[in-house]
Structure 1
Amino acid sequence: MSVIKKSFMHICMGTLIFTATSHIKAAEPTKMYAPSYVVKNIDLTEKSVKTIVPITAKTAEQALAQAQVIANNPNADLAEFRIDLLDFAKDAKQVVTLGQKLNQILKDKPLIATIRTHNEGGKLVVSDLEYADLYQQYLKHPFMQLIDIEMFRDQKLVAELTRLAHQNKVLVIMSNHDFSKTPEQAEIEKRLLQQDRMGADILKIAVMPQSKTDVMTLMNATLKVSQQTQKPLLTMSMGQLGTISRIATSNIGGNLSFGMIGEASAPGQIDVSQLKQLLKLVQPTTP
């Protein structure tokens, strides 16, 4: 084949390649998820610890009444909607309707949607698929600003729920609860940091102490993790023995603490007004 003929073929081939590739749309850069921790004008990363009060109602009427009380209490910063405690917890349509009403009543106070399953000390007995399906239905019509996802559910479903929440600009509280014991400090740290890697926006663990040492184990783990992540921490040692962990959480790097108005949702919660006063009393003036 002559040199001229070879050159002509190369030019033709080059033209074909250019023509084919010129119609391929350049890939758009992947948008990185950047959470906003300012929710309803409340900055969850502020040094002052924010208080959470649970809505523990069984009926819609009770839930609405509790939300109004929380809305009117200046010491309550956020509300947690404990969906698993409702008489109609598995009816997603009713839950969404009620959730929307609660969000309106709470006005400038953020709402956390929580299905606490029997596996982690809650009332609802559901499979991983049922758990994910309920949350997916809620997130089609988001009534919440934050959602609690249990970290030890099916990992693919947890990842999908986290992605879906972020897509809808809902912050994810990744959680783990142990109502029988306190794991070793290294294990507590491991779980919290695993939540961080799984895409959680807020890292949460609640454990049951059997001794004063157990309380210190939780508090030391919280302090250690706070030095390894910028994400807000919600940790607690439950029961009366662990009450100090709720009060002194700011001293160990925590950002949120549960209080109660009326009925507690977990052992060791104290009245939110008393909690707020104690939080302010021990709040460190320096990081």
Structure 2
Amino acid sequence: MPASNEKFLVGLVGPEVLSAIEADATHPVSIDIGACNALEIRYDFFPEKEWPALSKRVRKIAPHAMQVGTIRLERDGGRFPDRDAYSRIPLWSKILAEGDVPEWLDLEQDCLYDFKNLKNLADLRKTKVLISQHNFLRIPSQQELDDFARDCMRVKADGLKIAAMSNGETDCERLYKFARIHSQNFELFAAFGMGETGMASRVWSLKEGANLTYGSIGQAQAPGQVDVLKMARALRELPDLTTPADVLNSFAKL
């Protein structure tokens, strides 16, 4: 099992969510925030001038939640231009120079050329680095998954995340096997499928060894993403769930 026994449900924080709860602490979105024990600050959704202060702002509205800071590239479903991928280290430096900083940063696997510099910056603030892979076409083969884990272990990443498109009912079995084999090597570990046939894996993967998953606050930001309140209910029921189909039944409850 991963180093942390706690299972983390991550909700995404963008400008609409943050401004809504800052304007009104009783806004309905506060219920969604409260259902998450981790929040992903999507820096790429905000103007760059706001980035340094975002961790402090999120800490104020959700002091209970672990923070994952992400500057997601366009090719991985984000809004930060792919052509500017090499320019993110100075931006991370400004974020990490503030009084409040995220506990985790997320860096894509195909940007491992930045890992050493990012890790050096992060270590100064006791922030950890998660390596992520997003595949919007398919779930990689078992060999490709094993190679990804080895890449992450080679650079001594603290965490690993893979989100990959499921195109069939049995596709996620490879991700479950991946979690059973490799999750114990990382403090945080996520391995789930996107799309309709991947929905159950967002919770069932935690039964297979993962300890990190993601849900939506408001509009879904990835194919097959599930509302955090439904995710939180399924996580509470997880000890009693026996199959991935049970997860879907939990999602369907009114």
**Would you say same fold, with TM above 0.5?**
yes
Question: 1:56 deviation in Å?
Answer: 2.9
Question: 1:146 deviation in Å?
Answer: 1.4
Q: Tell me the distance in 2 between the aligned counterparts of 1:222 and 1:269.
A: 19
Q: Tell me the distance in 2 between the aligned counterparts of 1:231 and 1:143.
A: 19
Residue 129 of structure 1 corresponds to 86
Q: Tell me the distance in 2 between the aligned counterparts of 1:140 and 1:77.
A: 24
List gaps (5 residues or longer) in structure 2: 242-254
3-state SS in 2 of match to 1:99: helix
Number of aligned positions between the proteins: 236
3-state SS in 2 of match to 1:129: helix
Q: Tell me the distance in 2 between the aligned counterparts of 1:276 and 1:158.
A: 32
1:44/1:71 CA distance change after superposition, 3 Å = farther
Q: 2:105, 2:128 within 8 Å by CA — same for their partners in 1?
A: yes
Paired amino acid for 2:73: T
Would you say 1:75 and 2:32 are equivalent positions?
A: no
CA deviations over 1:2-31 (Å, ceiling 9, x no partner): xxxxxxxxxxxxxxxxxxxxxxxxxxxxxx
Residue 215 of structure 1 corresponds to 172
What are the equivalent positions in structure 2 for 1:1-287 lying under 5 Å apart?
45-46=4-5, 48-57=6-15, 61-62=19-20, 64=22, 69-70=29-30, 73-86=33-46, 88=47, 91=48, 93-125=49-81, 126-141=83-98, 142-153=100-111, 155=113, 157-226=114-183, 229-283=185-239
Paired amino acid for 1:236: F
TM-score, scaled relative to structure 1? 0.73
Q: 2:73, 2:85 within 8 Å by CA — same for their partners in 1?
A: no
Q: 1:193, 1:225 within 8 Å by CA — same for their partners in 2?
A: no
3-state SS in 1 of match to 2:236: helix
Q: Tell me the distance in 1 between the aligned counterparts of 2:166 and 2:24.
A: 30
Question: 1:44 deviation in Å?
Answer: 7.5
CA deviations over 1:141-162 (Å, ceiling 9, x no partner): 252121111121151x221101
Paired amino acid for 2:4: T
Q: 1:56, 1:85 within 8 Å by CA — same for their partners in 2?
A: yes
List gaps (5 residues or longer) in structure 1: 1-42
TM-score, scaled relative to structure 2? 0.82
Q: Tell me the distance in 2 between the aligned counterparts of 1:81 and 1:231.
A: 19
Q: Tell me the distance in 2 between the aligned counterparts of 1:240 and 1:79.
A: 23
RMSD: 2.7
Question: 1:221 deviation in Å?
Answer: 1.6
Q: Tell me the distance in 1 between the aligned counterparts of 2:190 and 2:4.
A: 11
Q: 1:52, 1:259 within 8 Å by CA — same for their partners in 2?
A: yes
3-state SS in 2 of match to 1:254: coil
Question: 1:116 deviation in Å?
Answer: 0.8
Percent identity reads 26
CA deviations over 1:163-182 (Å, ceiling 9, x no partner): 21122111211111111221
- Work out which of the two has the higher radius of gyration on C-alpha atoms and give 1 or 2: 1
Q: 2:166, 2:196 within 8 Å by CA — same for their partners in 1?
A: no
